[in-house]
Amino acid sequence: METEVRDPVAAQGAGGRPRRGTRRFPMFTRDTARPEGGGRAAPGDAPAPARQWPLLAVLGTVGLGLLVTAFDAFRVGLLLIGLALLGGAGLRWFLPRVGMLAVRSRFTDIVTFGLLGCVIVLLALMVQPKPWLEIPFLDDALHFTVRGG
């Protein structure tokens, strides 16, 4: 009886059924899995915008922030953009299904949205002139790098 190998990581198990001989992933991926929580955020019979409301909420707030920034209120616009990203992290954390807002694993999405949101909010609060937030060691680091030592 000759054994046919269909997959480089497959092996014959009891009864001639294929089983995985190793925990390695196959060399070639045949399909991709939906990210955890990537299902519809509303039932399938709801209209498309309702099914993707978490993504639309984040994108709408970012768009509003860009519009406010374009009208020369850059600090408020950047705060809106940063808060939209932080809101996206919160939605990703608390909601079991967020539609297309889920891009990677839940952990990676939360860390990415959270870090980018925090950085944008902090930079918006520290922007010159007349910063709303002053962090002395960052000011010293900037003066040190500009002066060159």
Please give the pLDDT value at position 15: 66
Q: Quick check: pTM over 0.85?
A: no
Tell me, what's the pLDDT at 93? 94
For every residue of 12-75, which 3-state class applies, written as one string? ECHHHCEEECCCCCCCCCCCCCCCCCCCCCCCCCCCHHHHCHHHHHHHHHHHHHHHHHHCCCHH
Residue 18 has pLDDT above 80, yes or no: no
Mean pLDDT across 46-58: 87
Round the average pLDDT of the chain to a whole number and report it.
82
Beta-carbon contacts of 141 under 8 Å, excluding residues fewer than 6 positions away, are none
pLDDT in the model for residue 99: 86
pLDDT band for 143, please (50, 70, 90 cuts).
confident
Residue 23 has pLDDT above 80, yes or no: no
Q: How confident is the model at residue 57 (pLDDT cuts 50, 70, 90)?
A: very high
